[in-house]
């Protein structure tokens, strides 16, 4: 990552309302350590997702529709997304930038707001409502563990990886009995 890469651009099939409701854009395969260095999330719309139960896209295909102030990279809370990440945001602004997506093969890319032609000082920022997903703790699993429920090694590795900005594969846990 170069110093000029201050933004994560995602090509998402989710609506702006859902992204705001969930506290950010989630279920991404990304380099958490690299993503943590980004200040901004820029969402572009994918209207061609074949899973219509998953997709609630509302914006024009390829258009940039939302900029968020990145506030953290956390494990995704969605079932079946144990190896994926949420880019959490603290504030957001709606944008309307047709054809902002570069048609790259990867739905996540790193760039800068300058390169995208976005000046954050000209945007109308809104505070995020309280997310419907779990609050400030890293994962549901850790919340459950603190309340006495079982925590798997995989869940613990994922939560620790998010905290330290490494992949779950880089976390080693030793249990001595």
**What would the pLDDT profile of 109-131 be if each residue is shown by its tens digit?**
999 999 999 999 999 999 999 86
pLDDT tens digit sequence for 31-66: 999 999 999 999 999 999 988 878 999 999 999 999
Q: Do 159 and 86 lie in a common domain? A: no
Among candidate residues 67, 60, 56, the one with its CA nearest the CA of residue 17:
56
> What percentage of the chain carries pLDDT values higher than 90?
64
Model confidence, pTM: 0.74
* Domain count across the chain: 2
What is the SS3 assignment for 116? helix
Q: Do 106 and 138 lie in a common domain? A: no
Q: Do 33 and 65 lie in a common domain? A: yes
Q: Do 14 and 46 lie in a common domain? A: yes
What gap in Å lies between CA 143 and CA 19, rounded to an integer? Answer: 22
Residue at 89 is within a domain:
yes
Domain carrying residue 155? 134-177
What gap in Å lies between CA 99 and CA 176, rounded to an integer? Answer: 55
Residue at 90 is within a domain:
yes
At which residue do the structure tokens 């956390």 appear?
74
Residue at 2 is within a domain:
no
Q: Do 92 and 64 lie in a common domain? A: yes
- List the structure tokens of 33: 């350590």
Residue at 1 is within a domain:
no
At which residue do the structure tokens 């201050």 appear?
6
Q: Do 81 and 164 lie in a common domain? A: no
What gap in Å lies between CA 51 and CA 120, rounded to an integer? Answer: 33
Q: Do 169 and 99 lie in a common domain? A: no
Residue at 110 is within a domain:
yes
């Amino acid at each position: 990552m170069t110093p000029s890469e201050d933004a994560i651009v995602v090509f998402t099939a989710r609506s702006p309302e859902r992204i705001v409701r969930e506290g950010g854009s989630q279920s991404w395969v990304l380099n958490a350590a690299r993503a943590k260095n980004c200040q901004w999330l820029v969402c572009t719309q994918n209207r061609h997702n074949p899973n219509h139960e998953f997709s609630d896209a509302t914006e024009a295909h390829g258009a940039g529709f939302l900029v968020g102030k990145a506030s953290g990279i956390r494990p995704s809370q969605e079932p079946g997304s144990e190896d994926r990440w949420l880019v959490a945001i603290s504030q957001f602004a709606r944008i309307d930038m047709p054809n902002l997506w570069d048609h790259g093969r990867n739905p996540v890319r790193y760039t800068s707001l300058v390169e995208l032609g976005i000046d954050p000082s000209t945007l109308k920022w809104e505070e995020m409502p309280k997310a419907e997903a779990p609050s400030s703790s890293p994962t549901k699993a850790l919340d459950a563990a603190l309340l006495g429920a079982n925590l798997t090694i995989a869940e613990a590795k994922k939560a620790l990886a998010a905290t330290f900005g490494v992949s779950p594969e880089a976390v080693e846990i030793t249990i001595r009995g």
